Amino acid sequence: MSAGAPASAQPPASAQPPASAEPSASAEPPVTAQASLRNVGKTFAASRERSALHALGPIDLDLKQGEFFAVVGPSGCGKSTLLEIIAGLTAATEGSVEFEGKPVRSDVPEGVGVVFQEDASFPWLTVEDNVAFGLRRTALSGGERERRVRDALGIVGLSDFAGSYPAQLSGGMRQRVCIARTLVTQPRLILLDEPFGALDQQTRLLMGDEVLRLWRETSATVFLITHALDEAAMLADRIGVMSARPGRLKDVVQTGWPRDRDSRVVERPEFGAITARLWHQLREESLKTLGRVDAAPSERSAAAVHVS
């Protein structure tokens, strides 16, 4: 029995949804959803170049306050579209989205921060000014602005590089600049779209640790899209597996990891079981995507799953 291993009584990948648990006097109060998606779908309208495209849905999903939710799915299944709909950057064509009880419409709600895949740092600004750019729409005193930038740089481990320019940093550090730019707004929900896609494997694992740390330190909810099954299995409390386009939630896997975790969970036997389950679900969907680029809607296997 290793002394360092946190006790984990629950079977990881096979955990039942809490909804099916027996009610009991000592049950914890119900966890309220921070973001709710009901019957959400997106069809891109036909244009002169192409016909209409049903890209996503229907999707039902509740994100719980403070959880780490990852999404995996084959390329082109609608992951980014889903994230953009939650962020208010793209309008759903069906269904409704709420953040903290208010409908999400045509703008990023206050309290939501978005980090994209590509390195979006501005090469002509210092690290500090890149991060402060995140506060451009907020009316804060100079002192509060400085404090927030300092704190965000501390969380991503770039305090010593405040005066550097992006070109002087590694790819992983530049992506941390982008994460810090989102953190200064003190988001309660952080949406990340394949933020480590361009990084090598080792850097990705270490960045995963950074994200886990900032998730714990900020208490924010994290919604992470990734194409890497190991990343999802290592980081998340729950992992939504999407079908081929139009993307729906095919399965939601609960990892059962303790909150205080890091990349060393990859050494645990449950880790293999979780990634195996993810791959089992995804293999068929990925083959559909590979086999027929313009695959027909996968009506058979992709029943919408209501996740609460």
Q: Is 120 left (phi over 0), alpha (psi -120 to 50) or beta?
A: alpha
| Residue choice 34, 36, 80, 298 for contact with Mg ion (CB under 5 A) | 80
| Residue 245's binding partner out of ligand ADP, Mg ion, none, with CB under 5 to 8 Å set by partner kind | ligand ADP
**Strand pairing class (238-242; 221-225):** unpaired
**Contact flag: residue 292 with ligand ADP (CB under 6 A):** no
Would you call 37 exposed, middle or buried from its count of C-beta atoms within 10 A (0-12, 13-18, 19+)? buried
| Residue 76's binding partner out of ligand ADP, Mg ion, none, with CB under 5 to 8 Å set by partner kind | ligand ADP
**Three-class SS state of 37:** strand
Whether 69 and 257 have beta carbons less than 8 Å apart is answered as: no
**Contact flag: residue 41 with ligand ADP (CB under 6 A):** no
Rounded to the nearest whole angstrom, what is the least distance from the CB of residue 292 to ligand ADP in the complex? Answer: 13
Which residue sits closest to Mg ion, CB atoms considered? 80
**Contact flag: residue 245 with ligand ADP (CB under 6 A):** yes
Tokens coding 132: 């402060």
Identify residues 58-77 at the interface with ligand ADP (CB under 6 A): 73, 75-77
Whether 222 and 69 have beta carbons less than 8 Å apart is answered as: yes
Rounded to the nearest whole angstrom, what is the least distance from the CB of residue 74 to ligand ADP in the complex? Answer: 7
Tokens coding 223: 């919604």
**Contact flag: residue 81 with ligand ADP (CB under 6 A):** yes
Whole-angstrom distance, CA of residue 257 vs CA of residue 271: 10
| Residue 77's binding partner out of ligand ADP, Mg ion, none, with CB under 5 to 8 Å set by partner kind | ligand ADP
Q: Which is nearer to Mg ion, 43 or 65 (CB)?
A: 43
Backbone angles phi, psi at 204, to 5 degrees: -60, -45
The contact set with ligand ADP (CB under 6 A) reads 44, 53, 55, 73, 75-81, 245
